[in-house]
Amino acid sequence: MNIRAYLDTLDLSDGQSLRKDCPSCRAKNTFTVSNDGGSMVYNCYKLNCTLSGAYHRNMTAQEIQLRLVKQKLSKPPEIETMVIPEYVVQPTDEHPLLHKYISDWDIPTDNLMYDVKDSRIVFPIYHTGRLIDANGRSLTGKQPKWLRYTGNAHYYMTGKAKDVILVVEDIVSAMVAHQMVPSLSAMAILGTSLTLKHIAKLGEYNRIVVALDPDASHKTLAFKREIELWTNVETIALRLDDDIKYRLASDIENLKEVT
């Protein structure tokens, strides 16, 4: 049987569960299915039935908007404070790779740390004044290039502007953008896709600008459509000639114009 097609006919909304007769072995009231954020988890408890598994389906616009509302109304769980590993230290003159990276990109040194084990520049991420995560960028080509230390943070923010926010992929681009245009805040999404956490935060601003790398122009447009759909906030797709962190004059001027 086509289990995915069957599950879609059940029309479960986010957070809803159902118990009914198994569509495979026909046992009475042994089959359960739950919709957890678009992940359909199903299982038959009949001893000899092997029907179980999970698959992710796209959530509807209504489901996503409802989930965002629930997140705003509910008290968010306390995020665990990050314990800094002993090999992540305060920078000293003995770390030339770190200082070269800082100099090459001309980024502020506030709060930066250094991973002496993996030779990574470490960008701490704070939430309500507490360290919850850090993102480390390899300075020697070691994989992964970017390393999340706890995974507790969903994004990296720089700037305190409340009107306009810029969406980029990496932390250095966010830092450089805010340096060049202090009137905006910048969000590094710490990955390649948007999540509900990103959308909820972006919805707090009056204008959103998406500026991903030039080789991801199709994704920039996709992000614009997705953000605008869920937030109803004016969203601009900014076409770049180069990554924003390279400080190309034309890109900076275009960024200033849209902010």
Contact 241, 252 (CB under 8 A): no
Contact 25, 40 (CB under 8 A): no
Report pLDDT digits (tens) over 22-39. 999 998 888 888 877 667
C-alpha distances in angstroms, 248 versus 167, 180, 241, 251, 259? 17, 11, 8, 5, 17
Domain residue spans of the chain: 3-59, 64-79+155-259, 80-151
Question: Looking at residue 10, what is its pLDDT?
Answer: 85
Pick the CATH number of 64-79+155-259 from 3.30.360.10, 3.40.50.920, 3.40.50.150, 1.10.10.10: 3.40.50.920
For residue 80, pLDDT beyond 70: yes
How many residues are listed for the chain in this entry? 259
Q: How confident is the model at residue 73 (pLDDT cuts 50, 70, 90)?
A: low
C-alpha distances in angstroms, 166 versus 112, 113, 192, 257? 22, 25, 15, 13
Question: Looking at residue 45, what is its pLDDT?
Answer: 76
The encoded tokens of residue 152 equal 């507790």
pTM, full prediction: 0.71
CA dihedral angle for residue 189, residue 190, residue 193, residue 199, rounded to 10 degrees: -30
d(CA 195, CA 237): 18
Question: Looking at residue 206, what is its pLDDT?
Answer: 95
Contact 236, 258 (CB under 8 A): yes
Half-sphere exposure of 34 (CA within 13 A, CB side): 5
Strands (E) located in the chain:
17-20, 31-36, 39-44, 52-56, 88-89, 113-115, 120-127, 130-138, 146-148, 156-158, 164-168, 185-188, 207-210, 234-237
| Pairing outcome for strands 39-44 and 52-56 | antiparallel
Cβ neighbours of residue 93 closer than 8 Å, sequence gap 6 or more: 99
Cβ neighbours of residue 84 closer than 8 Å, sequence gap 6 or more: 113, 131, 134
Report pLDDT digits (tens) over 190-218. 988 888 889 889 999 999 999 998 888 88
Q: How confident is the model at residue 74 (pLDDT cuts 50, 70, 90)?
A: low
For residue 77, pLDDT beyond 80: no
- Candidates 175, 169, 173, 166; CA nearest to 258 is 166
Report pLDDT digits (tens) over 160-169. 888 999 999 9
